[in-house]
Structure 1
Amino acid sequence: MWSYRVFPEQPSTGFSAAVPALGLGTLTGPATLGAVADHYGLRAGFLVAGRPWH
């Protein structure tokens, strides 16, 4: 439904672009949290992870 709303002329293209981005975030997110937590502490890691990125 989301890809149809954002890309009404080609909803499958929008969905195909979103899947790799989601997969990349699933892999890099925990690694980044771990690196920040190792260097600055767990509290700082969760503050970075919980920050709204818009």
Structure 2
Amino acid sequence: MPLTCADIPKLLCAILLPPIGVFLEKGCDNHLIICILLTILGYIPGIIYACYIILFY
């Protein structure tokens, strides 16, 4: 799926606070819970997961 203009603010949110970027993309779903846990365990894994969700869904 190509990158659109709507994905740019989501990616910025994903870099600053990864769960917000996932919430904007998928809503309250199991992906949000996974992202919150990864962000708590380590900030970088949360960012990677959030960018993956935004770019591939």
TM-score under structure 1 length normalisation: 0.37
Question: Which of 1 and 2 has greater Rg?
Answer: 1
TM-score under structure 2 length normalisation: 0.36
Higher relative contact order (CA 8 A, sep 6+): 2
